[in-house]
Amino acid sequence: MLFMNKEERRILIKMIVQENHITSKRDILSIIRDKFNEYMSLSTITNDLKALHITKVPLDSSTYVFQVPENTPTTDHSAIINTLYQYDIQKIVISNHCLMIHTSPGFAQKLNYHIDALELPEILGSVSGNDFTLLMTSSNQCAQQLRLKLFGPHHNL
């Protein structure tokens, strides 16, 4: 079991709410427990939802879902990439001036979206499938620098 700090937990909660129709705080707890093997209290989720200004809005006449407000500050793509690195990136390989990133199923396109949002000049192009992202650069040295820029010096994959 890994222990998330408050910032990581809040990024994760925000991502969960944005990507799912969440009708209860227990839904959030279940996803975090099942996918990330993290356990926390309902009051922690309540406090985080309040801090993130996430509220319930009507989906239809009888269903309410949590929603992230549209006027939230700019997304911190680097922080999201860091969270994905810690929990969903399985392996990183450099070959033929490309950076190949293997992720948990379903997370590669999300990773690619946040990497693309950084608009890094080292990246000539990118493509993602269900569980991989391929970043093309101009050289192996450039790919090494990109890996360092995205994941820091302490990557262990």
pLDDT greater at residue 140 or residue 57: 140
- Are 98 and 144 within 8 A, CB to CB? no
For residue 18, the model assigns a pLDDT of 92
How much is the pLDDT for 157? Answer: 62
At residue 110, does pLDDT exceed 90? no
Q: Quick one: what percent of the chain has pLDDT higher than 90? A: 46
Band of residue 154 on the pLDDT scale cut at 50, 70, 90: low
Residue 68 to residue 146: CA distance in whole angstroms: 31
Please report, rounded to a whole number, the percentage of residues in the chain having pLDDT higher than 70.
Answer: 92
Give this prediction's pTM.
0.54
Mean pLDDT of the chain: 87
pLDDT of residue 59: 81
Instruction: For residue range 24-76, list pLDDT tens digits in order.
Output: 999 999 999 998 888 999 999 999 999 888 988 888 878 899 998 876 555 67
Residue 48 and residue 8: Cα distance in Å, rounded? 11
Please choose, from the candidates 123, 86, 121, 122, the residue with its C-alpha nearest in 3D space to the C-alpha of residue 107: 86
Identify the structural domains of the chain with CATH numbers, from first to last: 6-67 (1.10.10.10), 77-151 (3.30.1360.40)
